[in-house]
Structures are given as structure tokens and as C-alpha cells.
Amino acid sequence: MKILVATEKPFAKIAVDGIRKEIETAGFELALLEKYTAKKQLLDAVCDADAIIIRSDIIDAEVINAAKALKIIVRAGAGYDNVDLQAATAAGVCVMNTPGQNSNAVAELVFGLLVYAVRNFYNGTSGTELKGKRLGIHAYGNVGRNVARIAKGFGMEISAYDAYCPTEVIEKDGVKALKSVEELYAGNDIVSLHIPATAETKNSINKDLLGRMPKGAILVNTARKEVIDEAGMEQFMEERADFKYVTDIMPGNHAAMSEKFAGRYFSTPKKMGAQTAEANINAGIAAARQIVDFLVNGNEKFRVN
Ligand code: 3PG
């Protein structure tokens, strides 16, 4: 059996070594396609793969149909909006993610971006502190929970809104559970986004919602660019010179945003949230183990389709 690791943004070498060990110990073969630049390379690489480990790599119907021997795709990470689940199901291919494995890395980056923002992008002027600021966590999943844990160390006032997570789960962490998304944006100095990109959430962070945020507010996005209404965000930032947006997912209108909002808009050049050796090891090895367990024992835990 051939297991392909197809990562346009590669894992740390130590993680690839760990994946190789898991795969070869199980008697399978590992194939590596890293830093590919054209879809054709991916289409060629998948043709004889029984399983694929990916990150944010786009696995659409064309890729799935080119992979004639494919049985399972594991997205080493949380969000699987990059995989065409319908096409996978139609082709009889199991899709899994590795929830929680890279969430600490993403949560730590939230604070990297926030300190940068409140210290005025290190421009030499006097900034402010996170201590005492009101932090609203938008969705209380694995990353949101880690954000809450770290925010306590900074001495922040923490609340969260999650349409699906029970109030008791949020409140047992000492975090105030809010009843509506409007309340979350209106009542916090900083909102940290942790919603997935779904039909329901796409473009949902719009001008109306942002307009509820108080003076001097900051939005930090380590989730997905698709959840932002980019035109609405641009218009909003034109009207609200006090507002800052820091993101780990470069928006489609990055050039315009950088030019118009220098000093209060920042995007990493490439999504860096999960790009740590630890997260790569955790998510990569979990993915390899899940594949072995599926192929050998038929274990479908973490299946998402
Ligand atoms: C995830 O969904 O797990 C994160 O967005 C990380 O994505 P990446 O593997 O492309 O860095």
C-alpha cells in the first residue's frame, strides 16, 4: 500500500521522519510530494496512492477521480473545507481530520499577532497592554479553548460565543458564555475568530457585525479568509480609523488593504498558525496512525464524510 504525503506547505523534517516511521513499521510505503507548484504534479502523484495525508492542499473531484486506488484522505489539521467531501463519498473514499493536534500552535500565534497589534506594529510609539482588555472568542472549539487558557495568563477578561457548544462547557473554564454573536462583537475590545469556513459562515463577518465593536477594537483571524466579507471589511476600515485587523490568512484584497491601512492591518505572507515542529509532529503522526488503523483495522474514528 502506498501512502502519499502531499503538502504544498511542507511539514518540519522531524514530522516527516515520524510519519515515515509509522507508515514503514506498518509495512506500507511512503511517497512524498512537497512544495509542488502545479496541480498536474498532484494529479500524477495521487494516481497509485491508497491513502493521502494533506494540509490545506485542495483535493477536488478531479484529484479524487485521478486517484484510482484511493481509500482514505487524512487532512492533518482541523479544517477540511479544502476537500470535496461529496466527491470523496461518491468515490467511496473516507475523509478524516486530526482534531486538536495543532490547536496550541494556532492559539499561540493569536497572541503573537495581538501583542504586535497593541504595540502598534513595533513602530516605536507607545502602545497598550492585553492585561485587562476584553477578549471575545468566536467559537469555542479546540483552538478557542487554548486561546482562553493563554488569555488567562495575560490577565484578560474572557467571553465566548459558540452556537453549538453548551454553555456549561464554556463556563467551566471560567469563560463567560454569550448568547449571541452581536453581543460578542459589541462587548469586546478584541475578537479572535475560530469558526470554520462553511456555507453558513462564509462572508458572515461583515460590516454590520464589525460596526458593533467598540472604539479601538481589534479583530484577529487565525481561522479562514472565507469567513470575512472582504469588501465590507475594507469599507469598514475606511470609516473606522481606530480599528485594527490582524490575520494569518491573507485576504484577496491584501494589496489594497496594505496600501490603505498601513499601521493597522497586517497579514502573514503564508498561513503560519500550525507551522511549528510540535504541531507538524502531532498532526502528521496522528494522520499516519489514523491511516494505518483504518487500512489495517477498519477504524473510522474521526471520519467526517
Ligand atoms: C487547520 O485547519 O488545521 C489549520 O488551518 C492549519 O492549516 P495548515 O495545515 O495548512 O497550516
pLDDT tens-digit readout, 94-117: 999 999 999 999 999 999 999 999
Distance 77 CA to ligand 1 centre (A): 5
Where do the structural domains in the chain lie, given as residue ranges? 2-101+276-297, 103-267
Phi/psi region, residue 115 (left: phi>0; alpha: psi -120 to 50; beta: rest), is alpha
Q: What percent of the chain has pLDDT over 70?
A: 100
* 64 Cβ contact list (under 8 Å, min separation 6): 70, 84, 87, 88, 91, 93
Distance between CA 67 and CA 256 in Å, rounded? 39
Q: What distance in Å separates the CA atoms of residue 61 and residue 182, rounded to the nearest whole number?
A: 37
Residues in the chain: 305
- How many other CB atoms are there within 10 angstroms of residue 179's CB atom? 9
Q: Do domains 2-101+276-297 and 103-267 have the same CATH topology?
A: yes
Distance 224 CA to ligand 1 centre (A): 9
Return the best residue to mutate from 7, 19, 52, 56 for the ligand 1 pocket (most ligand atoms within 8 A of CB).
Answer: 56
* Ramachandran assignment for 229, one of left (phi > 0), alpha (psi -120 to 50 degrees), beta (any other): beta
What is the pLDDT, as a whole number, of residue 88?
98
Average pLDDT, the chain: 98
pLDDT, mean of residues 42-66:
98
| CB-based contact 283:143 (threshold 8 Å) | no
- In the sheet that holds 176-177, the strands lie side by side as 176-177, 157-161, 134-138, 190-193, 218-221, 244-247, 265-267
Predicted pLDDT at 175: 98
pLDDT reported for residue 198: 97
Provide the pLDDT confidence category of residue 261 given band limits of 50, 70 and 90: very high
Taking the C-alpha atoms of residue 206 and residue 44, their distance in angstroms, rounded to an integer, is 40
Which of the four pLDDT bands, split at 50, 70 and 90, describes residue 14? Answer: very high
Q: In what order do the strands lie in the sheet with 2-7?
A: 29-34, 2-7, 51-54, 72-75, 94-97
Dist. CA 250–CA 255, nearest whole Å? 10
Q: For ligand 1, is residue 142 a contact (CB within 6 Å)?
A: no
The CATH architecture to which 2-101+276-297 belongs is 3-Layer(aba) Sandwich (3.40)
Calculate helix-pair angle for 277-297, 103-118, nearest 10 degrees: 160
Geometric angle at alpha carbon 277, from 273 and 280, rounded to 5°: 70
Are 160 and 137 in contact by the 8 Å Cβ rule? The answer is: yes
Distance spanning both ends of the chain, measured CA to CA? 22
pLDDT at 158: 99
* CATH architecture assignment, domain 103-267: 3-Layer(aba) Sandwich (3.40)
pLDDT band at 143 (very low <50, low <70, confident <90, very high): very high
The predicted model gives 116-143 an average pLDDT of 98
Residue nearest to atom 9 of ligand 1 (CA): 55
Q: Which atom of ligand 1 is nearest to the CA of 271?
A: 11
